[in-house]
Structure 1
């Protein structure tokens, strides 16, 4: 707990946070214990809270969530909704804020949410990870309570699932978070019905993809069979038959959103999702712009694709609320990494951490301006994308890069 802000979580709780389910469940219980201790400091009650919340609570919730059933998978059509939402019309610019790994309930995540609110975007989208395990209490603290800091867009908010929501089998994500996500659809306001969606206008399609539901497996099995974050058949059918992603006559620019990365210079690649998209889009699949989170960094990749997958410009915006990692890249795809925000904001337990932030997209006809903004409302990188409506091809121009952003020189890559 942050002693200066006793109602917020201390970022120290998140330093060196691993990806084991048991560790994240224990962290959840420790956070609950610290809140209970704050309101009753007598020795007897503190000890009772420790044992009931930390130990017994941990075993109960861990066994219940890890050995229980996943929440039923929700997909379209659902309640008359097909998951395609027209972007607001009648204005020159449509603004969309993208945040990922934001839901930490810290002072830093509140800062980011406040900066987002000053831009009052039309839409806000969370790309996943409600920490530590996406419980109803964690959803409420970040999104739905009266004092939660999530900023709802003027015309809607949507949320993808990350792996942390699935550490509690996705129950709070589907039962608590999605019903709180709403979007204007014509004269009506729709509630988000599934963990994927499509926003579109005459020039652009922004497609939110679900990689979270398949990011966890049954206990013990996930040690032997590592989850690949692949798209379920229901989502593939929606992409093929409803979104019609493979339609060669649709030359609108394609922007993809997901929690997990297609490729990475730091952690696991997920080539299966690029392969599945290639099967839908065909051999002539054109390159896309792809935003993801999962890694707690701000990264910019040049166009890349695995031999059997689509090609994409990758943008990692996983620096929403977690302590921002700024270690050097250590694996794969180093030839595609171009920019990396390695500015040091402070040290927590001796570890240097960077600046939290978000991406602000502004759609203006066939142009897309993207500003990457940190928690102090500083534009770190600004770029402009344009779509060729004859071919659907994308082109990018970097407009500005703030001092302190590390640049990487192009090198050959045999996988490209």
Structure 2
């Protein structure tokens, strides 16, 4: 548990958002290496050596073909082991004042955030070190430990002391779709007991995959949008409909978090999945389920897409109220450039900067790929003021937004440092207006 493990960035390139393909990726490198051996064996030889090598070639190709077939069967066995396994039971809060999922937050504190971080790449560890440099009071992971969030992957790429940065007062992790591809056992049974608030210098454990941190001025509501990511075999390829909130979580929102209709503290909403997107799939069922509370949400930060982007007030057609959003899914996965907006969603910016170091690292395998920067965010709470700062893996400051609680559910926002380094799609003021 003390040592971290490293993955080459090209191993994570193009990681799919489906259980069948993600489990397949656990065997991908072995199969790829075996294919390269076959290609070398099939290369032309000088004529005088051809006859002597023919039998040797045939035997070698047969042997490696057998290994490839065996790897395929290993993957299929692994996939069926994961996909046919029962989903881990959904932990719920007892409902008492001491165990209702709402945790007190200091008036002044620092919270570091990153999403899709559990990859084991050099970029992820750079982000982790940068977050650690803030000496945050709390850290929150927005979900996804690759490839399938198994116990072994948490032990290798997330839980070691030198891996995911821990807050001095507590650390939390949201559930991601990749965690659920193995049934959620690594996340619920291995990770959560080692997270949560610090108690006598030790983590007290994170009781559930959803929680609320609050103080006199702000509420940070963090939801599990990934529990139903894994469905019946192959159906997860069409998972936009299946992504929804567990009934117990909806009850918790209604009966505990938003029970007092007169509570006007602004809500910062955190989740793994995105409600809307200008680039990829939208999970609109989430917006329908959260519709009664969206007028209290001044900002929604999600992950899932491996990019850093920002939106003004937006909502899919026929849904609402509109909500501002930031996509923070670039914590450690390869940020593949060249994707253009597909739909109108009041996209204001996206980080399309070229990262020469990451591109150079991946070019030995994928010569035409161009990669961008990973990064993270820091929340600085100071009474009625909330400052959110966004940085890349090199600790370059990209944007600063400041929110002031004026007694309403929608605080006043300003941009002392607009994201001028990034690709602009709309007016900067849309981010806070």
In structure 2, the partner of 1:310 is: 321
In structure 2, the partner of 1:38 is: none
Secondary structure of the structure 2 residue equivalent to 1:353: coil
1:219 Cα deviation after fit: 1.0
Deviations 1:338-396 (A, max 9, x none): 1111110032322111111101010111111111011111111111112221x222222
**1:74 and 2:91 equivalent?**
yes
**1:373 and 2:387 equivalent?**
no
Answer whether contact 2:18 2:237 (CA < 8 A) is retained. no
Distance (whole Å) between structure 2 residues aligned to residue 88 and residue 53 of structure 1: 55
**1:22 and 2:37 equivalent?**
no
Distance (whole Å) between structure 1 residues aligned to residue 288 and residue 188 of structure 2: 27
**1:86 and 2:104 equivalent?**
yes
Answer whether contact 1:214 1:227 (CA < 8 A) is retained. no
Deviations 1:124-159 (A, max 9, x none): 00000100111111101122235x411110100111
Residue ranges of structure 1 left out of the alignment (5+ in a row): 1-5, 36-42, 411-416
**1:101 and 2:99 equivalent?**
no
Answer whether contact 2:398 2:421 (CA < 8 A) is retained. no
1:226 Cα deviation after fit: 4.8
Answer whether contact 2:279 2:340 (CA < 8 A) is retained. yes
In structure 2, the partner of 1:360 is: 378
Deviations 1:395-416 (A, max 9, x none): 2211213553111136xxxxxx
Answer whether contact 1:258 1:292 (CA < 8 A) is retained. yes
Distance (whole Å) between structure 2 residues aligned to residue 184 and residue 145 of structure 1: 17
In structure 1, the partner of 2:275 is: 262
**1:386 and 2:422 equivalent?**
no
Answer whether contact 2:5 2:156 (CA < 8 A) is retained. no
1:329 Cα deviation after fit: 3.1
1:55 Cα deviation after fit: 3.9
Range that drifts further, 126-135 or 320-329: 320-329
Distance (whole Å) between structure 1 residues aligned to residue 30 and residue 320 of structure 2: 43
Change (3 A) 1:401 1:328: farther
Change (3 A) 1:31 1:178: farther
1:78 Cα deviation after fit: 7.8
Deviations 1:50-109 (A, max 9, x none): 7799445422221111122111111112896211110135xxx31101110000011111
Kindly report which structure 2 residues correspond to 1:217-256, keeping only aligned pairs within 5 A, or say none. Answer: 217-222=231-236, 226-243=240-257, 245=258, 247-256=260-269
Range that drifts further, 10-19 or 307-316: 307-316
Distance (whole Å) between structure 2 residues aligned to residue 298 and residue 33 of structure 1: 32
TM-score between the two structures when normalised by the length of structure 2: 0.82
Range that drifts further, 224-233 or 310-319: 224-233
Distance (whole Å) between structure 1 residues aligned to residue 166 and residue 239 of structure 2: 38
Over 6 Å off, 4+ runs: 32-35, 50-53, 185-188
In structure 1, the partner of 2:335 is: 324
Change (3 A) 1:229 1:114: same
Distance (whole Å) between structure 1 residues aligned to residue 240 and residue 131 of structure 2: 36
In structure 1, the partner of 2:171 is: 157
Residue ranges of structure 2 left out of the alignment (5+ in a row): 34-59, 428-433
Distance (whole Å) between structure 2 residues aligned to residue 139 and residue 31 of structure 1: 19
1:192 Cα deviation after fit: 0.7
Secondary structure of the structure 2 residue equivalent to 1:164: helix
Secondary structure of the structure 2 residue equivalent to 1:119: coil
Secondary structure of the structure 1 residue equivalent to 2:17: coil
TM-score between the two structures when normalised by the length of structure 1: 0.85
Structure that is richer in helix per residue: 2
Distance (whole Å) between structure 2 residues aligned to residue 54 and residue 115 of structure 1: 38
Range that drifts further, 360-369 or 75-84: 75-84
Change (3 A) 1:202 1:33: farther
**1:116 and 2:114 equivalent?**
no
Matching residue within 190, 203, 209 for 1:195: 209
Matching residue within 215, 224, 232 for 2:229: 215
**1:137 and 2:168 equivalent?**
no
Distance (whole Å) between structure 1 residues aligned to residue 308 and residue 421 of structure 2: 13
Q: Which has the larger radius of gyration?
A: 2
